[in-house]
Amino acid sequence: MAKVTIVFGVLLIILGLVGFFATGAIHHTALIPAWFGLALGVGGILAISPSEKRRKIFMHINVTVGLLGLIGAAASALHEYGHARSLGMDPDYKALTAQIVMVVLLLIYVNLCVRSFIQARSSRKE
């Protein structure tokens, strides 16, 4: 799972950079996915360890970072969409798309982590 974490970290960094440059490199908040990606990438590297205890700790930290990013991006997307619509305006579709992509990526990542945790726990019981 550590290598999967690194892959998702790289995908989030790419998403953040694409979002930043798509907005004309003006809106620094477009880099938020990149910061979550950096955290996951570093956590994934730290989770590559022969020590099972260290690997478990870092993977639990990584899935927590992923879950926080998922909740934050989903809440932000819903808030911005609702706010723009309540003012009778169209939302910023570039930002909304980036947030939705971040939500989807992190939803897949958290789901993979939870399945991996369940599988690891059930294999220890047998």
51 Rama class: left (phi>0) / alpha (psi -120 to 50) / beta: beta
The pLDDT tens digits for 28-59 are 888 999 999 999 999 999 999 888 899 999 99
The pLDDT value recorded for residue 107 is 97
The pLDDT tens digits for 60-100 are 999 999 999 999 999 999 998 988 888 888 888 888 899 99
pTM to 2 decimal places: 0.88
Between CA 14 and CA 37 the distance in angstroms is 8
The pLDDT value recorded for residue 79 is 92
Name the residue ranges covered by the structural domains of the chain. 2-125
